[in-house]
Amino acid sequence: MQDYISDRVIREGLYVIETFSTVRATAEYFKISKSTVHIEVTLPNVLCG
């Protein structure tokens, strides 16, 4: 996985944990799609190998 994606996944996860944010709110905050947030936050093993 490219470094910038890896960094974003970590930031997304921390944001969700710290703010108890929903997928929709997280997507809006990071200006990415809900699908992207869902995949990156809930399926990290698929992305990381």
Q: How confident is the model over 27-49, as pLDDT tens digits?
A: 999 999 999 998 888 775 555 55
Contact 26, 12 (CB under 8 A): yes
Number of domains in the chain: 1
Mean pLDDT of 11-17: 92
Those residues with Cβ within 8 angstroms of residue 15's Cβ, 6 or more apart along the chain or in another chain: 21, 26, 29, 30
Sign of CA dihedral 1, 28, 13, 47: negative
Give residue 1's pLDDT band: very low, low, confident or very high (50, 70, 90).
low
Q: What tokens were used for 20?
A: 């108890």
Helices and strands in the chain: count of H runs, count of E runs: 4, 0
Which range of residues forms the domain containing residue 12? 3-48
- The per-residue pLDDT for 31 is 95
- pLDDT tens profile 15-28: 999 999 999 999 99
Higher pLDDT, 48 or 5: 5
